A and B are shown apart, each in its own frame.
Chain A
Amino acid sequence: MPDKRLILEVDGLHVTYASRGRTVHALQDASLFVAEGEVVGLAGESGSGKSTLARAVLGLLPQGITRIIDGRIVIAGDDVTHYSPRQWEGVRGNPVAIVFQDPLSFLNPVMRVGDQIGESVRRHDPAARTTARSMELLELVKLQPAVLRRYPHELSGGMRQRAMLAIALGCKPRLLIADEPTTALDATTQTEILALLRELRATLDMSLLVISHDLGLLRWNCDRVYVMYAGHTLEWGPTGDVLARSAHPYTRGLVDASRLRRLPDDHFATIGGDVPDLHERYRCCPFFSRCTQVMDVCRQQIPPARGNRDGHGARCWLLEDGRE
């Protein structure tokens, strides 16, 4: 399927944290790829490993307590899985930059916005005239030039997110990761930021990996989506196919829940059962205990990845080869 060049490829990534003497398997079998120019969504509930994946791709997993047990991360053709901190400095910003959910805590409180943009410009584009380039970036994210002299706490939530974007774009990334880019914003600001992201994707030649628990957000903005659960990528494929013709019972549950579908008894649709326990590594389907269509085999073996020609696939025993 990947006939275009891949900017990011994550293959069977297994990451553990040491937490209070126990091991947490935050990522167990995460695989995804992003081709150049593509917009890819990564969906999942809290604790599904979305953010761990984003941090892993930037080499930001907490040192000392994290271990990459298995799998690999390839960025622009380089295997970066076991890069040293020094080597990671050459990956961060360019080719991969990130904007976070909470722009205030990710901006330096004692530095003016202009200095923070300038810092990223100077680091990645030493030949550029910093001020001119900073103005250009502000224009790109639709902020007034006066913002350059402001401190982060003087800006509104939407402006901070735009400032974060300007800083990230200052690195000229080939892949921009947006980790819950609009979760902390109110509804109207969300729409503005999304419109901006869509526009930037068209203007700038870069790929986008949007991480969100909000399927509605991903639906309108992504070429393809991945659905994560308990550190596994359970389903993937073209956005429309995954959301309209979900192959995995978990995805169907997620879609139903996100549509706020009212059940006949006037309750909202939810997914029953408990959140997964990540203290153990799953040797079977991670969703079996909550699945409405659970079979014996689901409790015994890990389902293989199966997909069709369009690249729509899932890990579920309900699927047969070639079928959705």
Chain B
Amino acid sequence: MTRNPGDPNTEGNGIRRISRYPAGLASASFILLLAGVAIVGPVLYPGDPLAISEHTLLRPGGAYWLGTDDLGRDVLAELVYGVRVSLFVGFVAAFAATVAGTAVGAIAGYFGGWFDTVVMRIAEFFQVMPTFILAVVIVALAGPGLTRVIAVIALLSWPQTARVARGEVLRVSRLDFVDGARCLGIPEWRILFGEVLPNAIGPVIALGTLVVGYAILLEASLSFLGLSSPDTVSWGRLLSVGQRFLFSAWWLSAFPGLAIFLTVLAFNLLGDTLGEMLNPRRSGN
């Protein structure tokens, strides 16, 4: 790879590079904003999301910016608390899926053999299964709960990561510098994790970002179906409550829906941008 001046893929540091992708920059800013809300939101907007009041089904505006629900709960406070749940589920599930998928896919791609065959057949099994129905069945059987939901989402997401990681490791392990490292007598395991993986991780990270969005959506969908514990304030749960008042109190479903939509969109756009920025075929390393 030579440095091409002006090429957005090789010039400048991360922030300057992402600034050449407006959609990516906007998404990253929005996600940072969400993260900020998740951390300090309840301090800035100190409403109790579970507090019931006599002000039921108030329209947006006035004391309650986004209105209240049928039990008089503050929709904005609920949304602010919901950020935590969504981001927590999204990040933890995506992290688990990425770590597991990368490890499995990298080993399968690098060493091949029976491990590769077995793992890839399992991955294909998960890919042909209708994942959402599988998730519903598992959560319905195991019972609701945040950890279970996270585990199910990770279980359903790792095969995709494994396939990408495997493909990248296959590509990188054919490059000359891997032989170069071999010529130094470095053991194969160290070559895989020390030399090959750092060169293969870009597309995996990009995919990991997409998985965050997917996980948030899946969690919201499960909550919408009532497959989450009732004491957890989650956007999907707000949506399912709001659905009953769709024609009388639109704000109950519109705002959580908008929040889910924007968040998932942001993670998808960021994932696409990262995929483009980290694409080895475009940046040439």
A residues engaging B (CB < 8 A)? Answer: 58, 60, 85, 89-94, 97-98, 100, 102, 104-111, 119-120, 123-124, 153-154, 164, 167-168, 170-171
Contacts and interface: CB of A to CB of B under 8 A. Distances in A.
B183 A123 contact: no
Contacts of B132: none
Contact of B195 (A97, A98, A108, A170): A108
Contact of B2 (A93, A108, A153): A153
14 contacts: A89-B185, A89-B187, A92-B184, A93-B183, A93-B185, A97-B184, A104-B1, A107-B180, A108-B181, A124-B184, A153-B2, A153-B3, A170-B184, A171-B185
Interface stretch (B60-68, B87-95, B171-179, B241-249): B171-179
A167 B1 CA distance: 20
A286 B117 CA distance: 43
B188 interface: yes
B285 A92 contact: no
A167 B184 contact: yes
B102 to A, nearest CB: 16
B199 A60 contact: no
- Residue from A93, A97, A102 having most chain B Cβ neighbours under 10 A: A93
Contact of B285 (A90, A109, A168): A109
Nearest to B196: A108
Given A106-B176, A106-B177, A109-B285, A171 B195 contact: no
Contact of A123 (B175, B180, B185, B188): B185
A153 B186 contact: no
- Residue from B1, B2, B184 having most chain A Cβ neighbours under 10 A: B184
Interface in B1-39: 1-3
Contact of A105 (B176, B181, B199): B176
A222 B195 CA distance: 35
- Residue from A93, A108, A109, A168 having most chain B Cβ neighbours under 10 A: A108
Contacts of A90: 185
Given A92-B185, A97-B184, A123-B185, A106 B179 contact: yes
- Residue from A85, A92, A104 having most chain B Cβ neighbours under 10 A: A92
Contacts of B195: 108, 111
A111 B195 CA distance: 8
Contact of B184 (A100, A102, A120): A120
Contact of A98 (B1, B175, B183, B194): B183
Interface string B55-80: 00000000000000000000000000
Contact of B176 (A94, A100, A168, A171): A100
A170 B186 CA distance: 13
A167 B180 CA distance: 10
